[in-house]
Structure 1
Amino acid sequence: MAPKYTTTNSVTTSDGVVLRYIQAGLPTNPTLVFIPGWAQPATQWQKQISHFSDKYNVIAYDHRGHGESDKPNFGYRIARLAADLSNLIYQLDLKDTTLVAHSMGCSVVWAYWSVFSESRKRIGRMVLVDQSPCMTADPSWSEGEATAVAAAFKVGGVQQIAFGLRGPHGLSTITGLLRSFFTPSATEQDIQYTIQQSLKMSYENAATLLVEHASNDWRDVLPTINVPTLVIGAETSIFSTEGMRYIAEQIPGAEVRIFSKEEKGNHFMFWENPELFNRVVETFLEGAVRDSKRRGRERL
């Protein structure tokens, strides 16, 4: 069922790129901003948009080059995507906002928090879904050290994927990668939908963004996050559960929830098991609001 009060609108970034976004629910309700991952559109969150729009003002947007947003041949780096997020938050005048980010979307949030520190007051909570703070392992690390921070790739590993995307086998490269993000119980229809949505982004821009994304190390940003945070990981994801627990340990007061194999715990758990995912997020949000109100009373 389509969410109530749904509209599609746009904002224009500081460098002239039009970003499309979905807005569902009443604007007077608390705001949730859903941030998609690499090569995925806002509609990857459709099962969350329909659920949360009853109680929240839900916004889900397409990154530049993704979905229905403009597709320039520039700006495919995490810092620019963070600036895009900042542009959206300011133009919509969002306050006390919960950011719900998946995969590369988490890196966008970490960059936003680091670079736009004067805007941190607009963020009330974070939900960080299945992303390593350091995707590429240092060559000096042992396998255990890499696993501890969910560094899923060795040096050159992501460049090989980018090489495949830019060559004659771009479709098979992205298809194989996206298939690995689902559990064996996922339907072919769901997998094909994800693949088709990814093709709205050019292989060249997807490759450029992926390489830049994987080159970042956000570990020093984590301890600076001072809003209630939920970290969600998955037992069979490319990103280790140890790494998800590491993130939660580094962010003061953060919670962590790992989806087991039986709970369809892979990279797209929010798509494969939306009922449980939505319940986990809802429980976190309700608890964070209660804690905030209690702290407010204690200060009186």
Structure 2
Amino acid sequence: MLDTSAERRSFTTSDGATLSYLDAGQGRPFVMVPGWSQTALQWHAQIERFSRDHRVIAVDMRGHGESDKPDHGYRIHRLSQDLRELMLSRDLDDAVLMGHSMGCSVLWGLWDLYGGDRTGALILVDEPAYLLQSDFLTAEEQSQAGAIFPHDTAVAICNGLSDPAGAAAMTATLLDTMVTKDMPAEMRAAIDDQNFKFPRDIAARLIMNHVYQDWRDVLPRIDVPTLCIGAEASNVPADCMRWAASVIPGAELEVFGADEGGSHFMFMENAEKFNARVAAFVHA
């Protein structure tokens, strides 16, 4: 289901974690960063399409996929630093960086630390700028940010993931909100399989850090061509991607309809449309 012709390679971070990534094609670098508990293989349709005219690198973040599972470093800024070190080690410059879900947060963390160094364009796929519902934000600010997790929900998710007896059920509950009813069973099974390559206890630690990151002040400082992609049938409100596109200077916007495979995984459910829109952006 998740086949790719890419070669699997690895590199070691400054804190000793060996990370795995898929490498295919030649040309301008196109780096793909999956979301929380997802893996490089879930970009398989994009790897096959964009490796025709780019050097595509899709990374398994620490703890995820085929990468090492160290007992440390499960914070967004550490993942951003891991990505920075990968780009430096492979001399990737003027790169197109595409993040899905939490992968967007990794890219925002990278921008927060290093600005646009080595970055030529961004593709931001279905991620709130701030996940946490809080009285600290007005109702309008929560809507703009895409705040979907009250504190108690975040804690319940982490507790569920940390409990060996309940981790599978909690994972299934989360994934149920991220796909449409029309997703083929084999595709959903492949997503489930990739999720469980990330040990549930450390997945809980990472999601707790993730939920509390507020990236709203990063977005207006992005000054490279940017495409924001949302979806009407996603658990992430499409309006927060509309807002992100409105505050990133010159950003483009694409929102998948519910009848277009417009789930959180629209790049899998409707890879044809997704790839065509991304191709139009990167080749403009």
Correspondence list, 1:89-238, <5 A: 89-117=87-115, 120-141=116-137, 143-167=139-163, 168-238=165-235
Aligned residue type for 2:38: Q
Q: Does 1:21 align with 2:21?
A: yes
Secondary structure of residue in 2 paired with 1:72: coil
Assess if the C-alpha contact under 8 Å between 2:4 and 2:41 holds in 1: no
Q: Write the deviation string for residues 176-216 of structure 1: whole angstroms up to 9, x where unpaired.
A: 11122111100111111111111111111000000100000
Letter in 2 for 1:182: V
Distance across 2 between alignment mates of 1:241 and 1:40: 21
**In the aligned structure 2, how far is the partner of 1:196 from the partner of 1:74?**
23
CA distance in 1 between counterparts of 2:281 and 2:229 reads 11
Per-residue CA deviations over 1:257-298 (Å, capped at 9, x if unaligned) read 1000111111000000000000000001111xxxxxxxxxxx
Q: Write the distance in 1 (CA, Å) between the matches of 2:250 and 2:217.
A: 16
8 Å CA contact 1:107, 1:218 repeated in 2? yes
Whether contact under 8 Å (1:2, 1:50) holds in the other structure is no
Relative distance call for 1:122 and 1:256 in structure 2 (3 A) is: same
Tell me, which stretches of 5 or more residues in structure 2 are unaligned?
none
Shift of residue 2 of structure 1? 6.2
Partners of 2:233 and 2:263 within 8 A in 1: yes
3-state secondary structure, aligned to 1:112: helix
Any conservation in 2 of the 1:3–1:53 contact (CA below 8 Å)? no
Deviation of the 1:137 alpha carbon: 1.7
Q: 1:291 matched to which residue of 2?
A: none
1:71 Cα deviation after fit: 0.5
1:144 Cα deviation after fit: 4.7
Shift of the 53–162 alpha-carbon distance from structure 1 to 2, 3 Å rule, reads: same
Deviations, residues 14-40 of structure 1 (Å, cap 9, x unaligned): 1010011110112xx111000000001
Amino acid paired to 1:24: A
The sequence identity of aligned pairs, in percent, is 41
Alpha-carbon distance, 1:155 to partner = 2.1
C-alpha change, 1:142 and 1:236, in structure 2 (3 Å) is: farther
Give the SS at the match of 2:190. helix
Q: Does 1:63 find its partner at 2:52? A: no
Query: Per-residue deviation at 1:149?
Result: 1.8
* Equivalent residues, number: 282
Which protein shows a greater Rg? Answer: 1
Residue 161 of structure 1 deviates from its aligned partner by 0.6
TM-score, L = length of structure 2: 0.96
**1:212-248 alpha-carbon deviations (Å, 9 max, x no partner):** 0000000001111000000000001111111111111
Deviation for aligned residue 1:141 = 4.2
Query: Where does residue 294 of structure 1 map in the other structure?
Result: none
5+ unaligned residues in a row in structure 1: which ranges?
A: 288-300
Q: Is the 8 A contact 1:139 1:155 kept in 2?
A: no
Asked if the contact 1:3–1:24 (Cα under 8 Å) also holds between the matched residues in 2, the reply is no
